[in-house]
């Protein structure tokens, strides 16, 4: 196919031209080019050099990565049948190619020869790290396996890629398959007006009377938090908690996929000489071993448990005394918690939401970034995949006037064809090219409620935190100054450190000098009152004990699942989950809850045996933010440019060009400590 837009790397992705039928020919051509290059480079008898060997492989790898990245992105944000088919048809070819690449002994030998050559000592620290990582990754990809074992290893990679994709698709399809149509207006009691209006518009789109509620977050969460109808909450909770399980359509049941994924990961690990997949996964991470991580999680659970038990006891007493609920059920938790919050702190999340219209939130977010790093963010134009998507550029003052730092797409709203959650992904990575430096481009994706009733979209404070979180990932990608692609931006950063910049950004959502400038009431235009902000701060750690234990439960379940569990041998996965809950949980969901069947992070994302990274990196991010709190004592604001520049220089700018712990110590001047996290979470006992 001529003029295939997926093969055009001259500028931004051509979303106005790319079609599903472009995928197969473009990827086939790139795979062919890549293989030809590898054959040529490995056939050369001379000692490899950086410019003659590593650089051309990076160039070719980037082209394939960019093209396939666009395909994967469109599969995530526009999961219509044609794109799903195009993605799935080509996924085996991509997976097979990378599996073969990782086991290519000739290529492995060239990388080792370059690393062992005299040139290695003359290379920059970033390039030395790239070569070290390559040699490590070849070993983890099975390059040193006996030849007769390599085909099986490749089969495992291909099947795992297909299973992960299927897991994600099953979850999206199961989420979309459920709808609760309400025609009795009395069942809407307690729900916010914008949620009712959105449900009415959704029903109209289906040519139905009344109101339509779905399992997508903008529809589901308000029901669980505000609907006074206990029966409605229970129906919604049961549907949500059993998605993609044996309780629904058999074709969408993730049960067999989970067992198969775990069995294949265990087999892969044994082939490489590791006792478990968790051990294998730790090799490129900050943490040393699964036992070290388990000790970390259990210590945190020990500290959090008294606070969590107090949270639950208070909630149960309140439910009993105020509503006569002696049997507090999971579908009551969010509703009763919101009532308790209102009684204790005299405000509701819905009240706060009215102060966060989308345009003010974006203005405030951009002001934080501009204030910290001395850059400016401006609207820009580019082809997009949906009319709601916007595009921005980041600039800074340079020697020759304004310089482009990077650009990003912003896709904020939930859609039926978009996978759930929020995420950042890369479109283009910074690197040196013939004409200078290639500037990076990022995708920022959320699933927030879209505008209803002619008014701008309004966001909850949790939504605002999510947006800041994903922007933190984006800045890690966009503000890098590393010019070698394999360690530029988020590339090469240890997985358990990659959440540092994102969780760091969340802290600014609690600062008055940030929030006061990013609010305007949707009806009156009034800024967030200081009195309401003070109530938000007082409530910041409301139920933080329970929330902390919930995260630890997920992390410990993930780790044990990948360390000391074997599908079909003795206990089941759900029994393993109950063991973890016996150890750390204070809240127990019903026996029919199928949380693992929607645990995309570990079965369809990159967090297998790595979900602990959120808590691990939270220690780093809270400690890093403490530097800005210390600066406030001098500068009068956490938006301290001098500290911001240091954070940029030592954390964001260096990407994966050095170990994350070194970067942290360069910024803080010492090893990380958990004190700030415990203080921020309200889990420091006061005398």
Contact status, residue 386 vs residue 80, Cβ threshold 8 Å: no
Q: What is the pTM of this model?
A: 0.93
Report how far residue 356's alpha carbon sits from residue 362's, in angstroms, rounded to the nearest whole number: 10
Q: What is the mean pLDDT of the chain?
A: 95
pLDDT band at 46 (very low <50, low <70, confident <90, very high): very high
Q: What are phi and psi of 464, to 5 degrees?
A: -60, -45
- SS3 of the chain: helix, strand, coil, percent, to 5: 60, 10, 30
Average pLDDT over residues 445-473: 96
**Tens-place pLDDT, residues 211-235:** 999 999 999 999 999 999 999 999 9
Rounded Cα distance between 682 and 684, Å, is 6
Q: For residue 545, give the nearest of 492, 584, 495 by alpha carbon.
A: 584
Read off the pLDDT of each residue in 400-426 and give the average, rounded to a whole number.
95
Measure the CA–CA gap between 511 and 117, rounded to whole angstroms.
Answer: 52
Active site residue 470: yes
Question: 358-494, superfamily in CATH?
Answer: Collagenase (Catalytic Domain) (3.40.390.10)
Is pLDDT of 1 > 60?
Answer: no
State the greatest distance between any 2 C-alpha atoms of the chain, in Å, as a whole number.
82
CB 610 within 8 A of CB 497: no
Window from 234-243, 519-528, 628-637 with minimum mean pLDDT = 628-637
Q: pLDDT over 90 for what percent of the chain?
A: 93
End-to-end CA, the chain: 73
CA distances to 474, 580, 622, 654 from 503, rounded to whole Å, are: 12, 26, 8, 18
What is the tens place of the pLDDT at every residue in 589-623?
999 999 999 999 999 988 999 999 999 999 999 99
Q: Of 395, 470, 499, 511, which residue is the catalytic one?
A: 470
Nearest to 337 by CA among 150, 587, 585: 587
Residue 74 banded pLDDT, cuts 50, 70, 90: very high
What is the pLDDT at residue 399? 79
Cα 294 from Cα 257, distance rounded (Å): 26
- Integer Cα distance of 171 and 241 in angstroms: 11
CB 127 within 8 A of CB 218: no
- At residue 678, φ and ψ (nearest 5 deg) are -65, -40
Measured torsion, CA atoms of residues 239, 245, 250, 254, in degrees rounded to the nearest 10: 140
CATH of domain 5-144: 1.20.1050.40
Q: What is the pLDDT of residue 2?
A: 63
Residue 401, pLDDT > 90, answer: no
pLDDT grade for 687, boundaries at 50, 70 and 90: very low
> Residue 184 gets which letter from DSSP?
-
Residue 681 predicted with pLDDT over 90? no
Torsion, Cα of 224, 228, 230, 236 (10° steps): -30
Domain ranges of the chain: 5-144, 178-242, 358-494
Res 116: pLDDT: 96
Strands of the 375-380 sheet, one edge to the other: 375-380, 390-398, 401-413, 441-448, 423-428
Q: What is the mean pLDDT of residues 100-125?
A: 96
Q: What is the pLDDT of residues 316-360, one digit of tens each?
A: 999 999 999 999 999 999 999 999 999 999 999 999 999 999 999
**Arithmetic mean of pLDDT, 393-413:** 93
Rounded CA-CA distance 681/684 in Å is: 8
Eight-class DSSP state of 526:
P
């Amino acid at each position: 196919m001529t003029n295939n837009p997926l093969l055009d790397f001259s500028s931004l992705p051509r979303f106005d031209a790319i079609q599903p039928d472009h995928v197969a020919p473009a990827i086939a051509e790139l795979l062919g080019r890549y293989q030809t290059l590898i054959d040529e480079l490995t056939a050369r008898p001379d000692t490899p050099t950086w410019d003659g060997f590593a650089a051309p492989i990076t160039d070719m790898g980037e082209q394939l990565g960019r093209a396939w990245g666009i395909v994967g992105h469109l599969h995530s944000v526009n999961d219509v049948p044609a794109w799903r088919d195009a993605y799935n048809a080509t996924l085996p070819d991509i997976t097979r190619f990378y599996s073969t690449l990782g086991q290519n002994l000739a290529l492995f030998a060239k990388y080792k020869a370059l690393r062992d050559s005299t040139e290695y000592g003359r290379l920059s620290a970033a390039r030395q790290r790239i070569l070290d990582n390559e040699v490590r990754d070849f070993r983890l990809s099975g390059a040193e396996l006996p030849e007769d074992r390599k085909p099986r290893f490749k089969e495992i990679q291909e099947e795992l890629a297909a299973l992960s994709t299927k897991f994600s698709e099953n979850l999206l399809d199961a989420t979309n398959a459920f709808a609760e149509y309400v025609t009795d207006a009395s069942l809407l009691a307690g729900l916010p007006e914008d949620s009712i209006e959105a449900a009415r518009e959704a029903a109209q789109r289906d040519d139905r009377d009344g109101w339509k509620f779905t399992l997508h977050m903008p529809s589901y969460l308000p029901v669980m938090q505000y609907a006074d109808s206990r029966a409605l909450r229970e129906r919604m909770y049961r549907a949500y908690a059993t998605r993609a399980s044996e309780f629904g359509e058999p074709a969408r049941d993730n049960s067999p996929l989970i067992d198969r994924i775990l069995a294949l990961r265990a087999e892969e690990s044994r082939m490489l000489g590791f006792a478990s997949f968790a051990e294998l996964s730790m090799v490129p991470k900050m943490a040393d071993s699964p036992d070290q991580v388990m000790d970390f999680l259990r210590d945190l659970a020990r500290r959090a448990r008294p606070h969590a038990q107090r949270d639950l006891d208070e909630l149960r007493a309140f439910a009993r005394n105020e509503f006569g609920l002696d049997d507090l059920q999971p579908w009551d938790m969010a509703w009763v918690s919101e009532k308790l919050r209102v009684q204790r702190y005299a405000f509701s999340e819905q009240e706060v939401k009215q102060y966060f219209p989308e345009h003010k939130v974006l203005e405030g977010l951009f002001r934080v970034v501009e204030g910290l790093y001395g850059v400016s963010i401006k609207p820009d134009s580019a082809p997009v995949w949906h009319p709601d998507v916007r595009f921005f550029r980041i600039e800074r003052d340079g020697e020759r006037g304004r310089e482009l730092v990077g650009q990003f797409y912003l896709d904020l709203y939930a859609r039926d064809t978009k996978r759930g959650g929020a995420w950042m992904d890369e479109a283009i990575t910074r690197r040196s090219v013939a004409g200078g430096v290639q500037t990076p481009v990022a995708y920022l994706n959320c699933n927030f409620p879209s505008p209803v009733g002619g008014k701008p979209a309004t966001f909850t404070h949790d939504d605002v935190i999510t947006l800041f979180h994903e922007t933190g990932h984006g800045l890690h990608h966009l503000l890098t100054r590393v010019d070698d692609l394999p360690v530029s931006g988020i590339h090469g950063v240890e997985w358990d450190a990659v959440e540092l910049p994102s969780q760091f950004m969340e802290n600014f959502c609690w600062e008055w000098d940030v929030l006061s400038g990013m609010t305007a009431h949707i009806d009156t235009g009034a800024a967030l009152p200081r009195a309401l902000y003070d109530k938000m701060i007082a409530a910041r750690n409301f139920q933080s004990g329970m929330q902390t234990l919930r995260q630890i439960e997920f992390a410990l379940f993930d780790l044990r699942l990948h360390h000391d569990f074997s599908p079909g041998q003795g206990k089941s996965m759900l029994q393993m989950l109950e063991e973890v809950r016996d150890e750390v949980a204070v809240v127990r969901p019903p026996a029919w809850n199928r949380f693992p069947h929607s645990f995309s992070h570990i079965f369809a994302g990159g967090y297998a045996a790595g979900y602990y990274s959120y808590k691990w990196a939270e220690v780093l991010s809270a400690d890093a933010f403490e530097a800005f709190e210390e600066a406030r004592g001098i500068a009068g604001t956490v938006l301290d440019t001098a500290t911001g520049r240091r954070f940029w220089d030592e954390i964001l700018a260096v990407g994966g060009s050095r170990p994350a712990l070194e970067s942290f110590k360069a910024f803080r001047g010492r090893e990380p400590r958990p004190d700030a996290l415990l203080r921020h979470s309200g889990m420091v006992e006061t005398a």
